[in-house]
Amino acid sequence: MGKNLAASGGEVDIKQFEITSNYNKKTTDISGGVMELFVWESLFDSTVRASVIYADTGYDDSGSRQISNTEGGGNSDFVNSAGEKTELVIEDLYKNKLVFTGDYHLRVSKNKREAFGGPHTTKTLVATEFYSKECIDNEDSEKRVVKKYQYKTSDNVKLILTDVLGTPKNITVDKSKNDYNFLGGREKVFQQCTWLSRVSVPDGVSAPNGVLAGYLFYETAYDGTKGGYNFKSIDLLFSKSPVRKYIMTATNEIPPGYSGNILNHFEHVSIDLQRSLVAGDQTKRKLETINPYNVEFAQNDFSAKSQNLDWNNGGKDFWKLAEDLNLKDKITRINTKAYDTGIVPTGLNWKEQKKESKEINYDIGDIIRQATNRFNQLFTYQITIIIPCDLGLHVGDVILVDFPEISQKEVREISKNKSGIYMIMDLAHRITRTGSYTSLHLTRDSIFR
């Protein structure tokens, strides 16, 4: 980054904020009346979202629109319903931009108006929410996933987003190595892509088969070069280098090597032994399967510890179970599944499908079970930090955060327990006239810096 972030709220320039009316097709610039603007991203949301509160004071005598924080005259209402095309461009102090124009424009999803004032002056506060146009298209019954798909899951996600949903946005995927055959069944696009995240294993990684199963499907805001839809492996996200380094200090000084100060933070540590035993995400899970083609029954065990490969985790180790409980090699969850052999075989004609009909579509034991474990582990340790507004951050990014240890010592060291690598799970940019901030909801699967 250019200069260090100050230990206070940042500044954001709203360069463009235009809403095109559904009624007269005229475009109104509301940037001058913005009182509070939020922009959200989440690893578990298929759209970027925004909301704004702005003041609408109607028209003046010249017929000019008065969208501002000053009192104005006029008696014409700004007619705004839902679905309006909206274009927004914002820029922070470090020249990071978020660009919601062109293919990346937003649509009004919800409107709420509250008017107040006397007989001569009226001011209306408008609360408006926005999301991506694809959220509307996702509800279109003519844009459902219906045909047969086969081969790589990552390729199928790209096909569904472009050919079915028709999105022109960037699509970034971590290539999967496993094939998966399925019938669309008239599923909505976002639901189908989310389902495929549970049956995907990243390619080009040296690891036991299936251990790295588990993807995430989400959208990130466009910055002028990158952004759009993402289909990413949890493990490959954790393997990336930190894009920022933050520290919490008692002064406004930022030590060398850090991007900025943490203004505030909240911990959300959630270690639940009973839930973990039921899920089997820290012990062993047994899988019992039956193959309908040859009526073959099989069973095998899977240890959660095998998913800690040093390079694919936020911390050094998973949380530790009490040794006297002797749970290390115990099985706490049993799953029983039937393979779908012969139901959706690979092939473009009957002869090809008959040849492949005895092959297992995908390995339930090496994919579904491991992916479920990975999702459960992901939420072991969560914190929220607040920093001066930084529009260059996105969900899925990995950052490093350092906190002082809890101690009565005059000189405190970096906490080895709470500090370390985290993934951004949710973020919110809050932009106001008095200061702008970014709230980051962070998560990791393990502990120790």
Q: Which of 242, 234, 238 is nearest to 402 (CA)?
A: 242
Give the chain's end-to-end CA distance (angstroms, integer).
24
Q: How far apart are CA 418 and CA 302, in angstroms?
A: 29
Q: What is the pTM of this model?
A: 0.83
The answer to whether 382 and 315 are in contact (CB under 8 A) is no
Structure token digits, residue 321: 């179970």
The answer to whether 423 and 398 are in contact (CB under 8 A) is yes
Q: Would you give per-residue pLDDT tens digits along the chain (449 residues)? A: 333 444 456 789 999 999 998 888 888 888 888 999 999 999 999 999 999 998 766 544 444 444 544 333 333 445 577 899 999 999 999 899 999 999 999 999 998 876 555 555 556 788 899 999 999 999 999 999 999 998 899 999 999 999 999 999 999 999 998 888 889 999 999 999 999 998 888 887 766 555 678 899 999 999 999 999 999 998 899 889 999 999 988 777 788 889 988 999 888 766 777 777 777 777 777 777 777 777 788 777 766 666 566 655 656 566 667 777 777 778 887 777 777 777 777 777 777 777 777 777 666 666 766 777 776 777 778 899 999 999 999 999 999 999 876 554 555 567 777 888 899 999 999 999 888 999 999 988 766 56
Q: How far apart are CA 39 and CA 429, in angstroms?
A: 5
Structure token digits, residue 213: 């199963």
Q: How far apart are CA 131 and CA 109, in angstroms?
A: 6
Structure token digits, residue 124: 């209306």
Task: Say what the pLDDT of residue 55 is.
Answer: 78
Domain with CATH 2.30.300.10 in the chain: 1-133+260-270+380-449
CATH superfamily of 1-133+260-270+380-449: Baseplate protein-like domain - beta roll fold (2.30.300.10)
DSSP code at position 356: H
**Phi, psi dihedrals of residue 50, rounded to the nearest 5°:** -145, 160
**Number of alpha helices (DSSP H) and beta strands (DSSP E) in the chain:** 7, 25
